[in-house]
Amino acid sequence: MQKFSEFKFISTYNIAAGVREKIISNEPEEYISDFFEPRYQEQQYLKPSKTTLLHDYIEQEFSLGIEYMTKHLAYEESIEELVFYLDNYRVPYLSYAEFLSEHNYYTDAEPDEFQYEYSLFLEKLVIQKISPFISDEVFSILFRDRKLLMEFNKLLAETVVKIKFVDFPKLLAKDGFVIRCSYWPEWVRRALMYRDQGSCAICLNDISGLLKVNFDKAIDHIVPLKLGGTNDITNLQILCEACNLKKLDHTIQTSEMYSRYF
């Protein structure tokens, strides 16, 4: 697995703000509940995957944004935008002239006659090739934001609590209750420790092991499984023993505290 990525930051902050707004405003549109369709995401619900549910959600938001843009902007403008993405991410694409000859369109066609087809061609390329990069970049910004992760998982829980055991026997322990992941991979522990800077996510006590030796810590589900939480890493945090005992499995809790750089 690659350890470093080159950030392009093309619209990354805009998209991050849009995704955040949609989740925090808690007014899920119809497609949000369609998105949380466990039939396709059963494995991600059951154990942490490096492509998280939030990655999928960001990718979907980005694709919908691109589709909306090509539908509503003049062809020329949307082509300009799409080409901007492709150039920045160094994705090769056919020029308009190459596109015309490749598709055997009439060479004596009006210059802009096939711009619609061309914009659809570019749109598909941007969605296929660029959305994975965008979702990684946006994820790396939003993953720091535990309040947002909590709201995201609360939305998800609205779907999970309605799922029936008879329909998903491999996913659920009982109605609306996802089976607890029995083993947390090392990359999950490391990522959480790194994100939360070695501190308990609620009281900020040091749990890194650098300052204190005798302490207990636990990986906690922000939205408990009992309340429709999943085992996706976006729903996990590390707590000190005291906070973990207090929270148990019946409260949805995190904090927005972080350590300052200076």
Kindly tell me the burial class for residue 25, based on how many C-beta atoms sit within 10 Å of its own C-beta (0-12, 13-18, 19 or more).
Answer: exposed
Size of the chain, expressed as the number of residues it contains: 262
**Smallest distance, Zn ion to C-beta of residue 257, A:** 11
Kindly tell me the burial class for residue 220, based on how many C-beta atoms sit within 10 Å of its own C-beta (0-12, 13-18, 19 or more).
Answer: buried
Task: Specify the residue, 81 or 196, whose C-beta has the smaller distance to Zn ion.
Answer: 196
By CB under 5 A, which span of 11-19, 120-128, 133-141, 240-248 interacts with Zn ion?
Answer: 240-248
d(C-alpha 262, C-alpha 156), whole Å: 36
Should residue 201 be labelled a site residue for Zn ion when binding is judged by CB under 5 A? no
- Bridge partners (DSSP) of residue 238 are 219
d(C-alpha 193, C-alpha 238), whole Å: 7
How would you classify residue 204: left for phi > 0, otherwise alpha for psi between -120 and 50, otherwise beta? left
Task: Specify the residue, 159 or 237, whose C-beta has the smaller distance to Zn ion.
Answer: 237
Closest to 159 measured CA to CA, from 141, 171, 146, 148: 171
Should residue 203 be labelled a site residue for Zn ion when binding is judged by CB under 5 A? yes
Task: Specify the residue, 54 or 236, whose C-beta has the smaller distance to Zn ion.
Answer: 236
Should residue 240 be labelled a site residue for Zn ion when binding is judged by CB under 5 A? yes
By CB under 5 A, which span of 1-9, 10-18, 104-112, 194-202 interacts with Zn ion?
Answer: 194-202
**Smallest distance, Zn ion to C-beta of residue 200, A:** 3
Task: Specify the residue, 194 or 262, whose C-beta has the smaller distance to Zn ion.
Answer: 194
Q: What is the size of the binding site for Zn ion (CB under 5 A)?
A: 6
Should residue 171 be labelled a site residue for Zn ion when binding is judged by CB under 5 A? no
State which of positions 84-143 bind Zn ion (CB under 5 A). Answer: none
Token readout for 121 is 């061609």
**Smallest distance, Zn ion to C-beta of residue 240, A:** 3
Task: Identify the residue among 79, 243, 247, 254 touching Zn ion (CB under 5 A).
Answer: 243
By CB under 5 A, which span of 8-16, 146-154, 166-174, 201-209 interacts with Zn ion?
Answer: 201-209
- What DSSP designation does 231 have? S
d(C-alpha 53, C-alpha 143), whole Å: 12
What does the binding site for Zn ion look like in residue numbers (CB under 5 A)? 200, 202-203, 205, 240, 243
